[in-house]
Structure 1
């Protein structure tokens, strides 16, 4: 049995960089022309396909095989994450039981560049008999699949980028772009928002940035360092050490915020030999009208404030400016907001 690692033909000499770069540019040019041709074909059929998917009482089911199957799987994922419930069914498995995954309320979007994929054509009559609306995306408008569909989306290309005109290259790019166009058109038609997107991506960085609130990461209750306005610096330093946030809020008798004292303020005072670090009232040296934030604001907004004003901590206040929490940059780092 031949060694698979050495069985493939290899060039006698390594190609020059110019040849490799020319090849890359040729591929990009061919695929760009294919997309230009696609743009000219976006017409009423595209609108019809969108309306079928918008009106679906079930989900959008993507069917495909081979490279078209890979593209179909990606389109299904993009649709699902942008507000259109969708999933992928492998065309080869459909006739071996997976056809049962498709309910009569679903809309089917079948992909085949040739439009003659045998496994697809085997199950399409059953899908039609069940009453499912069928959208086909093919590279041949006169193909069997295109003719069976309720709506056909023309994804044909003048040529593949492969020099043999065989490997799916320009055709898969065109199908991917057409799938993205469907997803975005549906997203806009549904009024899908950034918050909606975050809810379907709660574990990712985007989800954290769009869903995590100040209340989720702040210190609250007795963990918030705070002192009255008549506290001495000695009492302030003790409270800051207890709270370990690099700051303490300064509050009045109703626990309303009147100022803040930070590690930075303390370091600056250490240079002033005239200041009695034990007896001086904090009201004389605190920062008045400090930056604050509300508990319902997004944690990423706190990160922006800290970066913009070059500060490391924020006091969280309610509408009456009563102190309800505090956080510093380390809290945002632990929450992976920054």
Structure 2
């Protein structure tokens, strides 16, 4: 047996556990969603060991998708952090065995405070479940560990359960891309959802502009002075008519021996692909990426077609945005 085949067996065991737990989900999950939606407090996750690590992740995902949450370590709880819990809160205790001592010792305090207690366990009848307002059972046939000891399949199903909980809640409360960007302003995902073309484009005197009747020598000067390897052709009111690239200039010089014979109206590219000033930068990048001859820049216009600037692929990529 190869290492790869052994690894695939682990995958198969964990996939089988996920399928089984998926089929086990029922009314209890709906009830948990309703309890969270009706709660005026926060969702507090708690657990020990591997379950504690999973609880931290579930709490982080809930918070990032619009459901206020934090992780409370049971050991820290008995040394004063129980004061963080309010009666309006809902505490989710994650324990595969349902018999974790550290969790059992904080249950009386949670009850006295008046917060709701939800057990997420691997057993229908356990000590934690007995004292809980709701018990979500994620029962698996075995761990993926060879000796059925190390938390593997059990932590995987708990993790996916947490993802399902956070995502269903986010959809129910109407959490959208704008909210996500608000909570993730510094990350790549936030940049994808926040940065607009107008934030990154060249504007004002940095934008190369010519008119249809501009002398060809001025075209070359304008292109070289602005360092964008292109110029925008506009009408007298500033509406974009087309563009001329450095490639267009080179081809024109190759075809004609007399520079004064070259006319802007003969060489400019009409109806170019454009970016809108208020659209997301990632959408502009999508327009630039083509199977053949991808664009390195796009002229930027407003909704009436007036030229507002130029945005380049490099400037978008430097911000860590990709498609």
Same fold (TM over 0.5): yes
- Residues 252-261 or 97-106, more deviating: 97-106
The structure-2 alpha-carbon separation of the partners of 1:327 and 1:279, relative to structure 1 and needing over 3 Å to count, comes to: farther
2:278 is matched with which residue: 296, 303, 306? 296
> d(CA) in 2 for partners of 1:163 and 1:293?
56
Structure 1 CA distance for aligned equivalents of residues 193 and 138 of structure 2: 35
Following superposition, the deviation at residue 335 of structure 1 comes to 2.5
Query: 169, 179, 186: which is aligned to 1:196?
Result: 179
Whole-angstrom CA distance in 2 between matches of 1:186 and 1:106: 16
User: In the alignment, is the contact (CA less than 8 A) between 1:246 and 1:313 conserved in 2?
Assistant: no
Q: C-alpha distance in 1, partners of 2:103/2:218?
A: 77
- SS of match in other structure, 1:327: strand
Q: CA RMSD in A?
A: 1.8
Total equivalences in the alignment: 320
30 and 293 in structure 1: CA distance in 2 versus 1, 3 angstrom threshold = closer
CA distance in 2, matches of 1:29, 1:257: 58
The 3 A distance-change label for structure 1 pair 180 and 334 is closer
Q: How much has 1:329 moved relative to structure 2?
A: 2.0
1:157 paired residue among 123, 140, 143: 140
Unpaired runs of 5+ in structure 2? Answer: none
Q: Which residue of 2 aligns with 1:20?
A: 3
Matches within 5 A, 1:225-244: 225-244=208-227
Superposition pairs for residues 17-96 of structure 1, below 5 Å? 18=1, 20-96=3-79
Deviation at 1:140, TM superposition (A): 2.0
**Greater alpha carbon shift after TM alignment, 235-244 vs 98-107:** 98-107
Distance 2:167 2:313 in 1: 36
Counterpart Cα distance in 2 of 1:284 and 1:22: 65
Instruction: Tell me the TM-score normalised to structure 2 length.
Output: 0.92
Of 227, 242, 264, the residue aligned with 1:259 is 242
Preserved contact between residue 81 and residue 197 of structure 1 (Cα < 8 Å): yes
- In structure 1, the gaps of 5 or more residues are 1-17
Q: 1:114 to 1:215 in 2, by over 3 A?
A: same
Is residue 245 from structure 1 mapped to residue 192 from structure 2 by the alignment?
no
1:202-239 per-position Cα deviation (integer Å, ceiling 9, x unaligned): 22222222221000100111211111221111111111
Q: TM-score, normalised by structure 1?
A: 0.89
The residue matched to 1:62 in structure 2 has which SS?
strand
Cα distance in 1 between the residues matched to 2:317 and 2:173:
35
Runs of 4+ with >6 A deviation? none
Counterpart of 1:104 in structure 2 is 87
